[in-house]
Structure 1
Amino acid sequence: MTLPADAVTALDTFQQAASWEQRARLLMQWGDRLPALSDVDKVDANRVHGCESQVWLVGTLQDGHWQFSASSDARLIRGLVALLLARVNGLSAVELQQVDLADWFSQLGLGRQLSQSRSNGLNAVLQRMRELAH
Protein backbone atom coordinates (compact mmCIF):
# COMPACT_ATOMS: atom_id res chain seq x y z
CA MET A 1 0.00 0.00 0.00
CA THR A 2 1.46 3.36 -0.95
CA LEU A 3 1.76 5.98 1.73
CA PRO A 4 0.11 9.39 1.46
CA ALA A 5 2.59 12.21 0.69
CA ASP A 6 2.33 13.62 4.23
CA ALA A 7 3.18 10.22 5.66
CA VAL A 8 6.29 9.97 3.46
CA THR A 9 7.35 13.44 4.66
CA ALA A 10 6.80 12.38 8.28
CA LEU A 11 8.87 9.22 7.83
CA ASP A 12 11.73 11.11 6.18
CA THR A 13 11.74 13.75 8.89
CA PHE A 14 11.54 11.41 11.86
CA GLN A 15 13.98 8.84 10.50
CA GLN A 16 16.59 11.61 10.16
CA ALA A 17 16.21 12.60 13.81
CA ALA A 18 19.24 11.26 15.63
CA SER A 19 17.89 11.29 19.17
CA TRP A 20 14.71 10.95 21.16
CA GLU A 21 15.00 14.67 22.08
CA GLN A 22 14.93 15.60 18.39
CA ARG A 23 11.95 13.35 17.74
CA ALA A 24 10.13 14.81 20.76
CA ARG A 25 10.72 18.33 19.40
CA LEU A 26 9.50 17.28 15.96
CA LEU A 27 6.43 15.72 17.55
CA MET A 28 5.56 19.04 19.23
CA GLN A 29 6.12 20.91 15.94
CA TRP A 30 3.78 18.56 14.06
CA GLY A 31 1.17 19.10 16.77
CA ASP A 32 1.58 22.87 16.59
CA ARG A 33 1.00 22.80 12.83
CA LEU A 34 -2.29 20.97 13.20
CA PRO A 35 -5.04 23.34 12.00
CA ALA A 36 -7.29 24.35 14.88
CA LEU A 37 -10.78 22.92 14.97
CA SER A 38 -13.58 25.43 15.31
CA ASP A 39 -15.62 25.46 18.50
CA VAL A 40 -18.52 24.18 16.39
CA ASP A 41 -16.54 20.95 15.88
CA LYS A 42 -15.46 20.68 19.52
CA VAL A 43 -18.71 19.10 20.62
CA ASP A 44 -19.31 15.88 22.48
CA ALA A 45 -20.52 14.12 19.32
CA ASN A 46 -17.02 14.58 17.83
CA ARG A 47 -15.17 13.66 20.98
CA VAL A 48 -13.18 10.43 20.89
CA HIS A 49 -13.96 8.37 23.96
CA GLY A 50 -11.19 6.17 25.31
CA CYS A 51 -8.56 8.93 25.37
CA GLU A 52 -7.29 10.31 28.67
CA SER A 53 -6.83 13.68 26.97
CA GLN A 54 -9.67 15.33 25.13
CA VAL A 55 -9.52 14.59 21.41
CA TRP A 56 -12.05 15.74 18.83
CA LEU A 57 -12.27 14.22 15.38
CA VAL A 58 -14.24 15.13 12.27
CA GLY A 59 -14.09 13.38 8.92
CA THR A 60 -15.33 14.12 5.42
CA LEU A 61 -15.46 11.91 2.38
CA GLN A 62 -14.20 13.46 -0.87
CA ASP A 63 -14.24 11.39 -4.06
CA GLY A 64 -13.99 8.14 -2.12
CA HIS A 65 -11.09 9.37 0.04
CA TRP A 66 -11.30 10.37 3.69
CA GLN A 67 -10.00 13.64 5.10
CA PHE A 68 -9.87 13.93 8.86
CA SER A 69 -9.32 16.90 11.13
CA ALA A 70 -8.59 16.55 14.81
CA SER A 71 -7.50 18.48 17.83
CA SER A 72 -6.50 17.77 21.40
CA ASP A 73 -6.05 19.78 24.56
CA ALA A 74 -2.72 18.00 25.19
CA ARG A 75 0.30 19.10 23.16
CA LEU A 76 1.99 15.71 22.94
CA ILE A 77 -1.27 14.02 21.92
CA ARG A 78 -1.80 16.71 19.27
CA GLY A 79 1.57 15.74 17.80
CA LEU A 80 0.73 12.05 17.80
CA VAL A 81 -2.69 12.74 16.29
CA ALA A 82 -1.07 14.95 13.61
CA LEU A 83 1.17 12.02 12.65
CA LEU A 84 -1.81 9.69 12.57
CA LEU A 85 -3.63 12.14 10.27
CA ALA A 86 -0.56 12.25 8.02
CA ARG A 87 -0.82 8.47 7.72
CA VAL A 88 -4.57 8.23 7.07
CA ASN A 89 -5.70 11.35 5.21
CA GLY A 90 -6.55 10.58 1.61
CA LEU A 91 -7.18 6.88 2.20
CA SER A 92 -10.28 4.99 1.14
CA ALA A 93 -12.43 3.25 3.77
CA VAL A 94 -10.85 -0.10 2.79
CA GLU A 95 -7.30 1.25 3.16
CA LEU A 96 -8.22 2.78 6.50
CA GLN A 97 -9.09 -0.69 7.82
CA GLN A 98 -5.55 -1.84 6.98
CA VAL A 99 -3.61 0.85 8.84
CA ASP A 100 -1.34 -0.69 11.49
CA LEU A 101 -0.96 1.92 14.20
CA ALA A 102 1.85 0.24 16.15
CA ASP A 103 3.82 -0.38 12.97
CA TRP A 104 3.42 3.23 11.81
CA PHE A 105 4.69 4.69 15.10
CA SER A 106 7.58 2.25 15.29
CA GLN A 107 8.62 3.22 11.74
CA LEU A 108 8.69 6.81 12.98
CA GLY A 109 10.90 5.76 15.89
CA LEU A 110 8.19 6.62 18.39
CA GLY A 111 6.91 3.14 19.19
CA ARG A 112 8.66 2.63 22.51
CA GLN A 113 7.65 6.13 23.64
CA LEU A 114 3.96 5.29 23.40
CA SER A 115 2.72 4.47 26.87
CA GLN A 116 -0.12 1.98 27.14
CA SER A 117 -2.65 4.75 27.74
CA ARG A 118 -1.39 6.83 24.78
CA SER A 119 -1.43 3.78 22.56
CA ASN A 120 -4.98 2.98 23.69
CA GLY A 121 -6.01 6.58 23.06
CA LEU A 122 -4.58 6.59 19.53
CA ASN A 123 -6.21 3.26 18.82
CA ALA A 124 -9.50 4.81 19.95
CA VAL A 125 -8.94 7.67 17.46
CA LEU A 126 -8.20 5.21 14.64
CA GLN A 127 -11.23 3.11 15.62
CA ARG A 128 -13.42 6.23 15.48
CA MET A 129 -12.05 7.02 12.00
CA ARG A 130 -12.97 3.52 10.89
CA GLU A 131 -16.48 3.92 12.32
CA LEU A 132 -16.95 7.21 10.49
CA ALA A 133 -15.71 5.62 7.26
CA HIS A 134 -17.88 2.54 7.58
Structure 2
Amino acid sequence: MDDETVRFDTKIAVLLRDDLAVWQRLNVTAFLVSGIAGTRAEVVGEAYQDADGTTYLPMFRQPVMVFEGSKEFMRTAHERALKRGIEHSVFTQELFATGNDRDNRAAVKAVRTAELDLVGIAVYGPRNAVDKVLKGAAKHP
Protein backbone atom coordinates (compact mmCIF):
# COMPACT_ATOMS: atom_id res chain seq x y z
CA MET A 1 0.00 0.00 0.00
CA ASP A 2 1.27 3.45 -0.91
CA ASP A 3 1.74 5.73 2.11
CA GLU A 4 1.81 8.91 0.04
CA THR A 5 -1.03 11.30 0.86
CA VAL A 6 -3.44 11.83 -2.01
CA ARG A 7 -4.13 15.50 -2.75
CA PHE A 8 -6.98 16.66 -4.93
CA ASP A 9 -7.00 19.75 -7.14
CA THR A 10 -10.77 19.88 -6.78
CA LYS A 11 -13.08 20.02 -3.80
CA ILE A 12 -16.58 18.78 -3.08
CA ALA A 13 -18.31 20.67 -0.29
CA VAL A 14 -21.81 20.96 1.13
CA LEU A 15 -23.07 24.02 2.99
CA LEU A 16 -26.11 23.49 5.21
CA ARG A 17 -28.22 26.10 6.93
CA ASP A 18 -27.51 25.96 10.65
CA ASP A 19 -31.16 25.80 11.76
CA LEU A 20 -32.06 22.49 10.10
CA ALA A 21 -33.16 19.42 12.02
CA VAL A 22 -30.78 16.46 11.89
CA TRP A 23 -33.00 14.47 9.50
CA GLN A 24 -33.17 17.52 7.21
CA ARG A 25 -29.37 17.91 7.20
CA LEU A 26 -28.91 14.30 6.16
CA ASN A 27 -31.65 14.43 3.54
CA VAL A 28 -30.39 17.69 2.04
CA THR A 29 -26.79 16.46 1.93
CA ALA A 30 -27.78 13.28 0.09
CA PHE A 31 -29.82 15.16 -2.50
CA LEU A 32 -27.20 17.86 -3.05
CA VAL A 33 -24.24 15.55 -3.66
CA SER A 34 -26.28 13.43 -6.05
CA GLY A 35 -26.18 16.38 -8.44
CA ILE A 36 -22.40 16.30 -8.45
CA ALA A 37 -22.14 12.53 -8.78
CA GLY A 38 -24.72 12.51 -11.56
CA THR A 39 -22.99 15.12 -13.71
CA ARG A 40 -19.28 14.76 -13.02
CA ALA A 41 -18.20 11.20 -13.81
CA GLU A 42 -14.58 11.93 -12.90
CA VAL A 43 -15.46 12.34 -9.21
CA VAL A 44 -16.82 8.80 -8.88
CA GLY A 45 -14.41 5.92 -8.33
CA GLU A 46 -14.66 2.27 -9.24
CA ALA A 47 -17.05 -0.23 -7.70
CA TYR A 48 -16.06 -1.71 -4.35
CA GLN A 49 -15.59 -5.42 -3.74
CA ASP A 50 -15.16 -7.29 -0.49
CA ALA A 51 -12.94 -10.34 0.12
CA ASP A 52 -15.81 -12.67 -0.83
CA GLY A 53 -16.20 -11.03 -4.22
CA THR A 54 -19.45 -9.24 -3.44
CA THR A 55 -19.60 -6.02 -5.45
CA TYR A 56 -20.89 -2.68 -4.12
CA LEU A 57 -21.70 0.62 -5.78
CA PRO A 58 -18.86 3.09 -6.36
CA MET A 59 -18.55 6.27 -4.30
CA PHE A 60 -16.80 9.60 -4.63
CA ARG A 61 -13.03 9.37 -5.11
CA GLN A 62 -12.44 12.24 -2.71
CA PRO A 63 -13.80 13.44 0.62
CA VAL A 64 -16.94 15.53 0.83
CA MET A 65 -16.53 18.39 3.27
CA VAL A 66 -19.66 19.54 5.12
CA PHE A 67 -20.09 23.06 6.49
CA GLU A 68 -22.88 25.07 8.07
CA GLY A 69 -23.90 28.69 8.04
CA SER A 70 -26.74 31.07 8.74
CA LYS A 71 -29.56 31.85 6.33
CA GLU A 72 -27.71 35.05 5.42
CA PHE A 73 -24.46 33.18 4.81
CA MET A 74 -26.28 30.73 2.52
CA ARG A 75 -27.20 33.67 0.28
CA THR A 76 -23.63 35.02 0.38
CA ALA A 77 -22.11 31.65 -0.57
CA HIS A 78 -24.66 31.20 -3.36
CA GLU A 79 -23.84 34.64 -4.77
CA ARG A 80 -20.11 33.85 -4.60
CA ALA A 81 -20.63 30.56 -6.44
CA LEU A 82 -22.63 32.30 -9.15
CA LYS A 83 -20.06 35.09 -9.56
CA ARG A 84 -17.19 32.59 -9.80
CA GLY A 85 -19.04 30.23 -12.14
CA ILE A 86 -18.70 27.37 -9.65
CA GLU A 87 -20.97 24.43 -10.39
CA HIS A 88 -23.42 23.87 -7.58
CA SER A 89 -26.69 22.27 -6.65
CA VAL A 90 -29.33 23.96 -4.51
CA PHE A 91 -31.92 22.76 -2.03
CA THR A 92 -34.62 25.20 -0.98
CA GLN A 93 -37.01 25.18 1.96
CA GLU A 94 -39.90 24.43 -0.42
CA LEU A 95 -38.40 21.06 -1.39
CA PHE A 96 -39.28 19.62 2.01
CA ALA A 97 -42.95 19.79 0.92
CA THR A 98 -42.50 18.07 -2.46
CA GLY A 99 -42.17 14.38 -3.11
CA ASN A 100 -40.58 13.96 -6.53
CA ASP A 101 -38.07 15.41 -8.96
CA ARG A 102 -40.67 17.05 -11.21
CA ASP A 103 -42.20 18.99 -8.30
CA ASN A 104 -38.74 19.81 -6.91
CA ARG A 105 -37.67 21.39 -10.20
CA ALA A 106 -40.97 23.29 -10.46
CA ALA A 107 -40.57 24.65 -6.91
CA VAL A 108 -37.10 26.02 -7.70
CA LYS A 109 -38.17 27.37 -11.09
CA ALA A 110 -41.01 29.36 -9.48
CA VAL A 111 -38.61 31.55 -7.46
CA ARG A 112 -36.16 34.19 -8.71
CA THR A 113 -32.47 33.55 -7.96
CA ALA A 114 -32.13 36.31 -5.36
CA GLU A 115 -35.28 35.12 -3.55
CA LEU A 116 -34.44 31.40 -3.20
CA ASP A 117 -34.93 30.26 0.41
CA LEU A 118 -31.77 28.16 0.45
CA VAL A 119 -31.23 25.51 3.10
CA GLY A 120 -28.25 23.91 1.37
CA ILE A 121 -25.87 24.09 -1.55
CA ALA A 122 -23.22 21.68 -2.78
CA VAL A 123 -20.27 23.03 -4.72
CA TYR A 124 -17.69 21.32 -6.90
CA GLY A 125 -14.69 22.92 -8.52
CA PRO A 126 -11.07 23.92 -8.11
CA ARG A 127 -10.07 23.70 -4.44
CA ASN A 128 -9.13 27.39 -4.09
CA ALA A 129 -12.33 28.61 -5.75
CA VAL A 130 -14.52 26.42 -3.54
CA ASP A 131 -12.62 27.64 -0.47
CA LYS A 132 -13.37 31.26 -1.49
CA VAL A 133 -17.07 30.49 -1.95
CA LEU A 134 -17.24 28.99 1.56
CA LYS A 135 -14.90 31.45 3.31
CA GLY A 136 -16.41 32.17 6.71
CA ALA A 137 -18.43 28.94 6.96
CA ALA A 138 -17.94 26.69 9.95
CA LYS A 139 -17.24 22.98 9.60
CA HIS A 140 -20.33 20.99 10.43
CA PRO A 141 -20.10 19.69 14.03
TM (norm. structure 2) is 0.25
**Structure showing the higher strand proportion among its residues:** 2
Q: Work out which structure has the larger RCO, using CA pairs closer than 8 Å and 6 or more positions apart in sequence.
A: 2
- Higher-Rg structure is 2
**Structure showing the higher helix proportion among its residues:** 1
